[in-house]
């Protein structure tokens, strides 16, 4: 790791980010801040039966072209340097899956879920390891291989000065969300409810990624960031006591929320990835990775395809 990167990480861990008034620069996250020490992640041996189920073009190329839509800590942590490696729980699961299949999973970052889905439909990408929220309307565009369960809450400034304690308290507040995500849809629906009951509309601020959204709260350009609890817990831990969670333990517009990898509809990779994840569950690798990244509360007993029902 370069001295420059180490310096940037130390600044973040100390909560001394330099914030600009008009822009939301990507946050350089300290990947070690959320990872917990523990047993080594098991090295996988190639499963020839699973490898044989891969499409011929993937076996020939020796790689799966995977895509992500930016940092989603602690699952996906994308470095700011060009060509930087993807880190986090998803990266380690990807590595283990690649070892099982005897190929490498090559990660590419694009802006937004819409770009992920359109790129898959165009054949540019084979896989997004996610995790991405699984909803019936999205299942028309991609097949989900779910491996975690999530909850949606708010990250607010320490002390919660705006009194945000759930979706119903968001009226009139400036709420940051990730563009094109499920939280954006829910908060916009809540804004309609607010105005319908004579209250002020929610001021919805849509950002391209998680770091930009949390930075808006840190710089007081937003009152809260509405998103998945796992990444918000990560950002709160890195804020040096400047942020806290709010609305925990409430539905906040969501029922059971499953998240997972996604592949194009009809892709044979769906069953291959599912079988690979099942094997990682069975040998303890999944548990080891989830525990390492502080995701014990997000584990699923077993992965499944298109578990999202609402």
- Tens digits of residue pLDDT in 247-306: 999 999 998 899 999 999 999 999 999 999 999 999 999 999 999 999 998 999 999 999
Model confidence at 20: pLDDT above 50? no
pLDDT score, position 113: 87
Extended beta strands in the chain, E state = 63-68, 77-78, 86-87, 104-109, 128-133, 142-150, 152-157, 174-178, 203-207, 224-228, 243-246, 257-264, 299-305
**Which domains, ranges and CATH numbers included, belong to the chain?**
48-149+257-301 (3.40.190.10), 152-246 (3.40.190.10)
- What's the pLDDT tens digit per position in 54-104? 999 999 999 999 999 888 999 999 886 555 589 999 999 999 999 999 999
Cα separation of the two ends of the chain: 43
CA angle 157, 163, 165 (to 5 degrees): 95
Model confidence at 11: pLDDT above 80? no
Decide if 175 contacts 206 (C-beta within 8 A).
Answer: no
pLDDT score, position 154: 98
Closest by CA position to 300, among listed 138, 150, 75, 183: 150
Q: Please list the residues that pair with 175 across neighbouring strands.
A: 204, 224
Q: What is the pTM of this model?
A: 0.77
- What's the pLDDT tens digit per position in 224-239? 999 999 999 999 999 9
The alpha-carbon radius of gyration of the chain (Å, integer) is 19
Q: How confident is the model at residue 40 (pLDDT cuts 50, 70, 90)?
A: confident
Q: How confident is the model at residue 7 (pLDDT cuts 50, 70, 90)?
A: very low
Q: What span, in angstroms and rounded, lies between the C-alpha atoms of 293 and 200? A: 39
In 277-304, which positions are buried (b, 16+ CB within 10 angstroms) versus exposed (e)?
A: bebbbeeebbbbbbbbbbbeebebeebb
Q: What is the mean pLDDT of the chain?
A: 87
């Amino acid at each position: 790791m370069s001295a420059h990167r180490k310096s940037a990480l130390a600044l973040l861990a100390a909560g001394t980010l330099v914030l600009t008034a008009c822009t939301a620069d990507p946050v350089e996250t300290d990947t070690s801040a959320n990872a917990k020490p523990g047993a080594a992640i098991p090295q996988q041996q190639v499963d020839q039966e699973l490898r044989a189920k891969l499409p011929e073009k993937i076996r020939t190329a020796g790689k799966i072209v995977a895509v992500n839509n930016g940092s989603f800590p602690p699952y996906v942590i994308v470095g700011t340097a060009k060509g930087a490696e993807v880190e986090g729980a998803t990266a380690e699961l990807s590595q283990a899956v690649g070892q099982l299949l005897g190929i490498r999973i090559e990660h590419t970052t694009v802006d937004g879920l819409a770009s992920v889905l359109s790129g898959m439909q165009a054949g540019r990408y084979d896989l997004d390891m996610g995790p991405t929220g699984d909803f019936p309307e999205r299942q028309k565009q991609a097949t989900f291989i779910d491996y975690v369960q999530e909850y949606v809450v708010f990250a607010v400034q320490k002390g919660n000065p705006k009194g945000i304690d759930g979706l119903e308290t968001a009226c009139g507040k400036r709420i940051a969300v990730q563009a094109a995500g499920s939280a954006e849809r829910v908060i916009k629906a809540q804004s309609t409810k607010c105005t319908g009951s004579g209250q002020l509309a929610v001021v919805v601020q849509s950002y391209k990624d998680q770091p930009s959204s949390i930075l808006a709260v840190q710089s007081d350009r937003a009152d809260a960031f509405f998103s998945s609890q796992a990444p918000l817990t990560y950002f709160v831990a890195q804020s040096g006591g400047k942020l806290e969670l709010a609305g925990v333990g409430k539905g906040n517009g969501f029922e059971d929320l499953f998240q997972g990898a996604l592949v194009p509809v009809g892709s044979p990779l769906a069953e291959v990835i599912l079988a690979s994840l099942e094997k990682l569950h069975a040998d303890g690798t999944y548990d080891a990775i989830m525990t390492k990244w502080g995701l014990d509360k997000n584990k699923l007993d077993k992965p499944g395809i298109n578990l999202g029902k609402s």
